[in-house]
Amino acid sequence: ASSFGRQRRISLASALVPIWPIVLGLLIDGIICKTQHILRVFVWVLLASSMILATLKVDYDATFVSWGLVLLPLLGVILVCVLALSYIVYGHRVGYFRLTSSQLVAGWLYSISAGIALILLVFLVEADGRSDGDNLLEWNRTVRLFIISAAPVSVSMFGVGAWAVAKDEFNRLLTLGGQAAVIPMKLKLEPHGWTSVKSVGVAMIPMFGEVSFEPLDSSKADLEMCGACCACYPYDDEEEVVPEISTQISNRIA
């Protein structure tokens, strides 16, 4: 019976067959075709690294691979997600992103979920790095209770946020239909003449759906960018360009 069980054992590489084409395909697409942002490509690299390390650990009993090393790339993925969520939520606060109420609630739920997952992975990496004598049972009851409940709470909050966004997108589909909005471009006076630029618009952000955005004013952008957050959001600098053009026109007339 034991030999039959060993023969019927499914390897981790086989269990991850539905995920391998997605991760590797998007990774190759981002590197070769350059159709994705560099942060998204970095996330695919981290996910592929974690999957490869986990396969080496489970299927081939690689002694040089620890579970802490397997979890470190996932720690980087969640950290990137936390930074991206902070950028979106803070962008709504300063007026660049125009999130709906459901999208804003989903953003906060995603942020809390990612924060809990980040803390949980830190605890797991710390537990893996401990010696045999210092195991998880030596931690106090509060820490053990947090480790047990953190994963379902994080997944539940993420699911509630996704449900709020899906409901908002469904209501928008019923109200406005499935046709994409046509947003006219803005004329901007630059040193070489008038140029049509994209000002307000709609961006498709994963797990948020359609998000409206509008560049900040120059005065507000200077105030926000010099703050403690140091977030870089596009802003209109038309007021800085027009005096230069006026000077050039005056010189030509003279």
Q: What is the DSSP letter of 216?
A: B
Residue 64 vs residues 12, 21, 61, 68, 133: alpha-carbon distances, Å: 18, 26, 9, 11, 21
Tell me the two tokens of residue 108.
């906060």
CA 236 to chain centre: 26
Residues 6+ positions from 211 with CB-CB distance below 8 Å: 88, 97, 98, 99, 103, 202, 203, 204, 205
Query: What is the pLDDT, as a whole number, of residue 241?
Result: 46
Pairing between β-strand 209-213 and β-strand 201-205 as defined by DSSP bridges: antiparallel
| Burial of 215 from C-beta contacts in 10 A (0-12 / 13-18 / 19+) | buried
Q: What is the DSSP letter of 133?
A: S
Q: Give the tens place of pLDDT for each residue, 15-65.
A: 889 999 999 998 888 888 888 888 889 999 999 999 999 999 888 888 888
Give 187's pLDDT tier (boundaries 50, 70, 90).
confident
CA distance 225 to 229: 7
Query: What is the pLDDT, as a whole number, of residue 174?
Result: 82
Query: What is the pLDDT, as a whole number, of residue 225?
Result: 47
Q: Give the tens place of pLDDT for each residue, 82-141.
A: 999 988 998 888 888 889 899 999 999 999 999 999 898 888 887 776 655 455 556 677
Contact 234, 199 (CB under 8 A): no
Query: What is the pLDDT, as a whole number, of residue 188?
Result: 72
Q: Dihedral of CA 16/18/20/26: which sign?
A: negative
